[in-house]
Structure 1
């Protein structure tokens, strides 16, 4: 009896142990379980949309479609971007014949003569097109033009060379110089003169007939080292620059070496002069003086008061003859033509000019 009681107790304990073990394993498996169910809604087919009621909620795809339609409605109020065909059509308008042959005055916005039926000046069609293209939207007032957005300083170097021509420089059919606009080469030349310490003043344009005149003349007053020019001479800027460089680099050093003193002044005998070569008449070519491209020098004055004129020297004038020979030879590196004593009608002065020859060679006599 006691044995069966003991057996029942053992069986009860074994059952209880197994039950507890089962609960532990089940809980452990539950804690490591993974939810594999799909969270996404099933796709709605067109058939399903038709079978849904009038109050049914729209699917996600339908919401996106409605949002796209709303965005299209908003964008419709904005101007549509231009197509490539429209861009090409606008570009072709700028190439129509009415813009062909437009002068630089039109592009710069400078009034042209005879513009308009009433004689009032205004910019050309090309100038108006440029103003509109730059978005300025400014109306052109009568008698003048608005700024077309071009820097005249940058554009100046593109201007054609102005030929004075005609009486007073008003020959028909020739490009007029634009007030206040100076070519780049002229500005650079003046900058070089200033850097050298040359004192000069601007002179109004000279136009005297078909062969005479200077577009941008200068009047030279003194050179580097405060060497005076006496009398002051009017020439074009390139001639003034070559002259100043020659005096600074060759004449002044030669004077210091031979006379142990400095150069006080250079005595000139002419710059611009509307005449033919050697003051000749009809059958003679025009002189380089007629365009301010030449300068004549008659002598030099030293700081000690000594004056040396350009003329043939005697046998015993060693220093003077040596000085004149030296500076005459050196001038060939600065001018394309050098004439002096020994050449007809040049016994009392040096003639220097910058004549351009087809051969490119200089003539030093």
Structure 2
């Protein structure tokens, strides 16, 4: 029994040893691996393959002729085809895109065209009825005028020197009269003056009173430009010069002529027509003050300081308004001042 027990123990120990040995061998097997791949095969990466590949020159692209391009490319589409491609599933016709109504009746179209044509004709007729054939901006006037003809005592020639349209007045003439009215000048429009081929005024005015209630004695007939220039000169220079020297106002101005169909210096040794023949000049013989003192235009004595000073001032200031100023010392002008608006090609003024 004791031997049997020893044998059993020995078998148990052997079994245990065998188990332990199996475990050790399994562990060793798991710790080592065997390479069974072919040792001659090499692993090459993608980048290395690309580097090893020999450089090969790229072949030139085949040339394409313009005829091949034209043959290959589709022809350009028209605007109608492009619009047709965008039609909705409902099948909107191209007329809808172009603003036409396919259901519109032809008779309606003809009626609309007739209406538009009739309206255009009516507008043309209305415009023609309003146009008198003369530009109303440049020639129309609301001032009444009589037919052209000779003024009283100026002859009976019917043709004026300047053409005048009955009932109409140029823009420059209307503007001139508007300025006279704004200044407070008293004047009257008179009939056109015509005498021969060298004398006349198409739109004359009779000057009667200047600003500040300064009378013109006697009144004179001149063209409107001369009247306006004369009124501005008296208001701005002559009347203030009188107040400075005499401490009183100017009552009246004595005139010695306006329009007159004659030659320079009344025709003495001259064939040149005077500016008076066009109403473009005015002569002054003297001044009357509110105090009653009268100062005539004539050579003064040595002690007439204030009178000489006033006449000298009047003469000098007149050269700033008129193109010609003549007075005592100039032939035929010892008793008056002559002022005119003669236009010279040189543009110069003449003051003597």
**How does 1:100-179 map onto structure 2 within 5 Å?**
134-136=123-125, 147-148=130-131, 153-156=136-139, 167-169=157-159, 176-179=163-166
Q: Distance in 1 between matches of 2:197 and 2:166?
A: 21
What's the offset of the Cα at 1:77?
3.4
* 2:14 alignment partner in structure 1: none
Q: Which residue of 2 aligns with 1:345?
A: 332
Q: Partner of 2:238: helix, strand, or coil?
A: helix
For 1:251, the equivalent position in structure 2 comes to: 238
The change in CA–CA distance for 1:217 and 1:333 in structure 2 (over 3 A counts) is: same
* Per-residue CA distance 1:193-246 (angstroms, 9 max, x = gap): 111111001011111110000011000100010000000000000100111111
What is the Cα deviation at residue 265 of structure 1? Answer: 0.2
Counterparts in 2 of 1:260 and 1:137: CA distance versus 1, 3 Å:
closer
Q: How far apart are 1:155 and its partner, in Å? A: 3.5
Q: How does 1:182-261 map to 2 (within 5 A)?
A: 182-261=169-248
**1:153–1:182 CA contact under 8 A, matched in 2:** no
Change (3 A) 1:164 1:282: farther
Aligned to 1:258, what secondary structure does the other structure show?
A: helix
> Is residue 319 of structure 1 aligned with residue 306 of structure 2?
yes
1:277-308 Cα deviation digits (max 9, x unpaired): 01116852000000000000000000000000
- Show the counterpart of 1:355: 342
Contact residue 338 and residue 363 of structure 1 kept, 8 A:
yes
Match of 2:59 in 1: none
Which of the residues 281, 286, 291 maps onto 2:273?
286
The DSSP-based 3-state class of the residue aligned with 1:178 is coil
TM-score norm. by structure 2 comes to 0.62
Which 4+ residue blocks in structure 1 deviate beyond 2 angstroms? 60-65, 67-70, 72-81, 131-139, 146-153, 163-168
Supply the distance in 2 between the matched residues of 1:170 and 1:265 (Cα, whole angstroms). 32
| Conserved? CA contact 2:149–2:191, under 8 Å | no
For 1:72, the equivalent position in structure 2 comes to 105
**Alignment partners' CA distance in 2, 1:134 and 1:273:** 51
Kept in 2, the 8 Å contact 1:295–1:352? The answer is yes
Whole-angstrom distance in 1 between the partners of 2:268 and 2:123: 55
C-alpha RMSD of the superposition? 3.4
Q: Is the 8 A contact 1:278 1:345 kept in 2?
A: yes
Conserved? CA contact 2:285–2:335, under 8 Å: yes
Q: Choose 1 or 2 for highest CA Rg.
A: 2
Per-residue deviation, residues 298-351 of structure 1 (Å, max 9, x unmatched): 000000000000000001111101110111101000000000000000000000
Native 8 Å contact 1:200 1:221 kept in 2: yes
Aligned residue pairs total: 244
Structure 2 partner of 1:33 = none
